[in-house]
């Protein structure tokens, strides 16, 4: 959730690190800091708030020949877990036995679960702590073992650590060396000409190099300029593959849009096209998903599909559950990834588990993947980031190819997830019970999704106008049935994330079982009213809402006059089967959420308290 950027080479580290921190701002953070090894000392600057606060505190670093001119450094953006967002709690954390000049400086992502015991022991040895963080305990622990060999000190310390970490560490007595390591929190090593750039996210590296190495858990790498030596915690040498980043730096820029979120909403036709390109075989009425490594015989032998994810990914998984059962007649269920590992799930060799995570690093989902593997299930990843941990640990799955998603609130990743899940459902269905003719029909409908989304985007101005009527509401309900219930969940999540309006989603039938007590003029209802099974019953629920004076915004099929007259406002989406209407309706609600948040003046791309990649449990 936090961001790491580090540099070792022959250039001045400070401007590279500060620019890298700016590239990581989209992840969400509350403080920032930098440590530079220069003139036989480690110089640390850190500030709460934005990166620009840090830049101001440093001063004229471009003309500083003493403190900030070194070519070795580490930097960090923090998302608070232990202790409030203050300057003292910001990273990097320095450490020394005397409590004076720093012998060690460290940046850390993750959570050290046994930090209290470590801190108590270290305080008993006379060490003085200056923060509330778990990370400072690790910096002191490393320093306590340091005897001139930084890699050895790091490895020895990490063997005592319980929890997760992605770290970069410097030592005052090692002016040319940096040590990085990971367990459960990503570290990417960018390979340049006589230089190395380390980060927690490839977006901070792409302007320097496209060649990267992804560390595996319990890897420890010693970095010296352009030299990278990777070993295990036990000092055994290992070789990790070099990968290429497959997107350009321009793909992570706003491209003239006011916000990344709006850009990414409008990128969806292209992103979805990239997700389905080469994966639909309309002649055979099936999908081609080689990454699943499943032949029809394997699919027939499977008894159940279990989909795991958190937040937006779990909402997308619900659409997949409905489609697999609907198309393939196969038992399917969605599990909240954070609960999966703790409730002793019943899965085995006849089950396939699909783990959904945009980043491929979501801590809860990764833990669930490992639990499913321990139980003997086939496990596949559905991720957007090539080389991410879930992709590497599952060894099978499907990349979304949605391109980088910078805004914290997910948009194109969700619609690409749903598109891929529909293709999975089609593949399973054709291997089990679906006819050739029905398969062709569904395949063609999936291919239509990008053009359907284009039609929704044409309503941007209309949606922006009706959003003006919602900026003063404090609460909202979202309702839907069948395939549109997950859309209600995702729509409510989006309005919460970026506009801070409290919103709840319910299956439309649940409205009468309690929530209806809250209906009044100040409680608008967003109703998913697309043509398809359940529409008439949802219209009945809309009547119940209006009878209690709750105004209703309907998402309706274009030309549906009956739905129009039952709504106070409406957004029309093109006619399509209910399984693809999940995507068009979601795009309409993304635009709605965006424009409400814009009119309220909210920080759309970096909502308060949120982080893009949730790498802690």
Residues classed as catalytic: 2, 612
Separation CA 140–CA 344 (nearest Å)? 37
Rg (CA), the chain: 26
76 phi and psi angles, rounded to 5 deg: -160, 145
Look up residue 444 and give its two tokens.
């063609």
The maximal CA–CA distance of the chain, rounded, in angstroms, is 78
Nearest to 420 by CA among 293, 317, 333, 314: 317
Separation CA 420–CA 446 (nearest Å)? 9
Look up residue 195 and give its two tokens.
């230089």
126 phi and psi angles, rounded to 5 deg: 100, 5
Q: Between vectors from CA 436 to CA 432 and to CA 437, what angle results, nearest 5°?
A: 130
Separation CA 199–CA 7 (nearest Å)? 9
Cα separation of the two ends of the chain = 11
Nearest to 481 by CA among 456, 502, 509: 509
**302: three-class secondary structure by DSSP:** coil
Separation CA 56–CA 379 (nearest Å)? 48
* Cα torsion angle, 140, 141, 144, 149, sign: negative
Residue 465 neighbours by CB under 8 Å, 6+ apart: none
What letter would DSSP give residue 328?
I
Separation CA 326–CA 306 (nearest Å)? 15
Separation CA 167–CA 30 (nearest Å)? 19
Nearest to 358 by CA among 74, 594, 614, 66: 614
Q: Residues for the chain: how many in total?
A: 617
Residue 149 neighbours by CB under 8 Å, 6+ apart: none
Separation CA 301–CA 312 (nearest Å)? 30
Torsion of CA 311, 200, 167, 185, to 10 degrees: 30
Nearest to 324 by CA among 445, 412, 410, 442: 442
ω into 608 cis (within 30 of 0): no
Cβ-contact 498, 593 below 8 angstroms: yes
Separation CA 612–CA 603 (nearest Å)? 14
The 3-state DSSP composition of the chain as helix, strand, coil percent (nearest 5) reads 40, 25, 40
Classify strands 242-244 and 211-214 as parallel, antiparallel or unpaired: antiparallel
Give the relative orientation of helices 312-323 and 578-600 as an angle to the nearest 10 degrees. Answer: 160
């Amino acid at each position: 959730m936090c961001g790491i950027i580090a540099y070792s080479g022959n250039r001045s580290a400070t401007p590279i690190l500060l620019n890298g921190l700016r590239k990581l701002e989209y992840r969400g953070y509350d403080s920032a800091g930098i440590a530079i090894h220069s003139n036989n000392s480690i110089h640390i600057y850190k500030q709460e708030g934005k990166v620009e606060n840090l830049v101001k505190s440093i001063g004229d670093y471009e003309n500083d020949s003493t403190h900030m001119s070194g070519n070795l450094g580490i930097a960090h953006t923090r998302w608070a877990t232990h202790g409030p967002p203050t300057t003292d709690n910001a990273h990097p954390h320095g450490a020394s036995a005397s409590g004076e000049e720093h012998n060690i400086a460290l940046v850390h992502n993750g959570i050290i679960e046994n930090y209290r015991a470590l801190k108590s022991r270290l305080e008993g040895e006379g060490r003085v702590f200056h923060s509330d963080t778990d990370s400072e305990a690790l910096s002191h622990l490393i320093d306590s073992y340091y005897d001139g060999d930084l890699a050895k000190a790091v490895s020895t310390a990490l063997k005592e650590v319980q929890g997760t970490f992605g770290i970069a560490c410097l030592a005052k007595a090692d002016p040319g060396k940096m040590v990085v390591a990971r367990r459960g929190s990503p570290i990417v090593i960018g390979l340049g000409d006589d230089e190395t750039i380390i980060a927690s996210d490839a977006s901070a590296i792409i302007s320097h190099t496209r060649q990267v190495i992804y560390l595996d858990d319990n890897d420890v790498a010693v970095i010296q300029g352009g030299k990278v030596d990777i070993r295990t915690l036990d000092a055994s040498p290992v070789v990790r593959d070099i990968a290429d980043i497959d997107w350009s730096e321009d793909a992570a820029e706003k491209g003239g849009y006011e916000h990344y979120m709006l850009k990414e909403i409008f990128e969806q036709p292209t992103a979805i096209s990239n997700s389905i390109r080469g994966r639909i075989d309309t002649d055979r009425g099936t999908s081609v998903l080689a990454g699943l490594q499943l032949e029809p015989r394997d699919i027939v032998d499977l008894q159940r599909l279990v989909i795991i994810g958190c937040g937006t990914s779990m909402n997308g998984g619900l659409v997949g559950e409905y489609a697999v059962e609907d198309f393939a007649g196969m038992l399917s269920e969605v599990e909240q990834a954070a609960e999966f590992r703790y409730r002793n799930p019943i899965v085995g060799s006849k089950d396939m588990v699909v783990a959904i995570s945009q980043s491929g690093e979501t801590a809860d989902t990764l833990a669930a993947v490992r639990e499913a593997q321990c139980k003997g299930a086939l496990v596949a990843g559905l991720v957007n980031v090539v080389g991410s941990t879930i992709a590497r640990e599952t060894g099978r799955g499907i990349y979304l190819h949605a391109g980088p998603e910078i805004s914290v609130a997910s948009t194109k990743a969700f619609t690409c997830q749903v598109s891929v899940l529909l293709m999975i459902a089609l593949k399973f269905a054709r291997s089990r019970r679906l006819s050739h003719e029905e398969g062709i029909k569904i395949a063609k409908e999936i291919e239509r999704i990008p053009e359907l989304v284009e039609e929704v985007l044409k309503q941007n101005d209309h949606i922006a106008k009706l959003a003006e009527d919602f900026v003063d509401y404090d609460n909202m309900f979202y309702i839907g049935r069948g395939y549109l219930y997950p859309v209600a969940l995702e729509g409510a999540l989006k309005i919460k994330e970026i506009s801070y309006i409290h919103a709840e989603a319910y299956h439309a039938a649940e409205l009468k079982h309690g929530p209806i007590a809250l209906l009044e003029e100040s409680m608008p209802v967003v109703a998913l009213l697309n043509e398809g099974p359940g529409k008439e019953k949802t219209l009945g629920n809309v009547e119940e809402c209006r009878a209690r004076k709750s105004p209703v915004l309907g998402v309706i099929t274009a030309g549906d006059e009956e739905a129009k007259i039952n709504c106070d406002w409406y957004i029309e989406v093109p006619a399509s089967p209910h399984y693809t209407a999940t995507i068009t309706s979601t795009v309409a609600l993304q635009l709605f959420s965006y424009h409400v948040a814009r009119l309220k003046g909210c920080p759309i791309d970096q909502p308060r308290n949120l982080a893009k990649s949730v790498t802690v449990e």
